[in-house]
């Protein structure tokens, strides 16, 4: 079974690449972030032609998450139970479902913007709600994973130049502590370092030749419980999909399981 996560940075802009990638990789379940569309405009028909069911939590121009699966989509939950609002609204940042033998979440953790910004406090509150929401499944006997864009680099090795991020979001002790607390529910990072690269980054800014210069960050993660982690046979960051015209600024992260 092949499960992947990919922040596509607009599914409308990325649709031809997405469809080709799914067909070429034989992915069974894809967790998508930053759809930047409404649920009604989500390309479910095009995905259905490739054999994928879709579950979508998206409301418009920003954010949005989805799950697409060839192995079933049962017990779908849209949103983060007990999650905080931002600016008086619940943002579409989480969706979960059972896909065959595995329970998965697709999450797009708030960016945080700046440490003094209200969005940063919201980010930490969101992490607390996520921890509470997944605790039971994380400790359970069924393979379970949370995949997505966590907007946190777990360690200094996960950013291209830690000195340049001093005082900025994505690397603060509080954010990393929130990520560690999530792992304490029974989850582990199932994409080990190093892979084929000394720094398997997953995000490179479009600006200043971020990708050609490998000025990246590892913020797209796959956290699985013990039954999930034991089933992993391979994992990789698909850097090739970050290349070329019309690429997302994130690369897909792929995990193979024997379940």
Residues recognised as catalytic: 108, 149, 250
Confirm whether residue 250 is marked as ligand binding: yes
Euclidean distance between CA atoms 166 and 147, whole angstroms:
26
Q: Which two tokens mark 164?
A: 């340049």
Confirm whether residue 249 is marked as ligand binding: yes
Confirm whether residue 137 is marked as ligand binding: no
Alpha carbon 203 to chain centroid, angstroms: 11
Identify the CA nearest to 240 among candidates 24, 35, 67.
24
Identify the CA nearest to 44 among candidates 22, 75, 77, 66.
66
DSSP string, 15-56: HHHHHHHHHHHT-SEEEEE---SBTTTS-HHHHHHTT-EEEE
Confirm whether residue 53 is marked as ligand binding: no
Q: Which two tokens mark 192?
A: 């080990």
Confirm whether residue 49 is marked as ligand binding: no
Confirm whether residue 119 is marked as ligand binding: no
Euclidean distance between CA atoms 148 and 80, whole angstroms:
14
Spatial neighbors of 115 by CB under 8 A, at least 6 apart, are 167, 168, 169, 172
Alpha carbon 58 to chain centroid, angstroms: 15
Asked if residues 68 and 42 have their Cβ atoms less than 8 Å apart, the reply is no
Report helix, strand or coil for 133: helix
User: What is the DSSP code (8-state) at residue 238?
Assistant: -
CA atoms within 13 Å, Cβ hemisphere of 204: 23
Which segments are annotated as binding site? 7, 34, 149, 151, 249-250
Which segments are annotated as binding site for Mg(2+)? 7, 34, 149, 151, 249-250
């Amino acid at each position: 079974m092949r499960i992947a996560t990919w922040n596509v940075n607009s599914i409308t802009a990325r649709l031809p690449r997405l469809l080709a990638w799914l067909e070429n990789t034989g992915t069974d379940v894809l967790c998508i972030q930053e759809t930047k569309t409404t649920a009604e405009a989500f390309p479910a028909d095009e995905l259905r032609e490739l054999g994928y069911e879709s579950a979508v939590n998206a409301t418009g121009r920003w954010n949005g998450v989805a799950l697409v699966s060839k192995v079933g989509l049962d017990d779908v939950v849209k949103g983060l139970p007990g999650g905080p609002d931002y600016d008086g609204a619940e943002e579409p940042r989480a969706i979960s479902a059972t896909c065959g033998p595995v329970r998965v979440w697709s999450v797009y953790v708030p960016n945080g913007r700046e440490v003094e910004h209200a969005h940063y406090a919201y980010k930490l509150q969101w992490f607390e709600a996520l921890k509470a929401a997944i605790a039971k499944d994380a400790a359970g006997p069924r393979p379970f994973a949370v995949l997505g864009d966590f907007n946190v680099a777990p360690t200094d090795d996960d950013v291209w130049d830690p000195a340049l991020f001093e005082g900025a979001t994505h690397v603060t002790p509080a954010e990393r502590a929130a990520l560690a607390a999530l792992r304490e529910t029974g989850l582990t990072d199932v994409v080990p370092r190093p892979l084929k690269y000394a720094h398997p980054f997953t995000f490179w800014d479009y600006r200043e030749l971020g990708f050609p210069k490998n000025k990246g960050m590892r913020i797209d993660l796959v956290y699985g419980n013990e039954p999930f982690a034991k089933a992993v046979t391979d994992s990789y960051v698909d850097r090739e999909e970050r290349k070329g015209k019309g690429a997302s600024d994130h690369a897909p992260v792929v995990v193979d399981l024997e379940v």
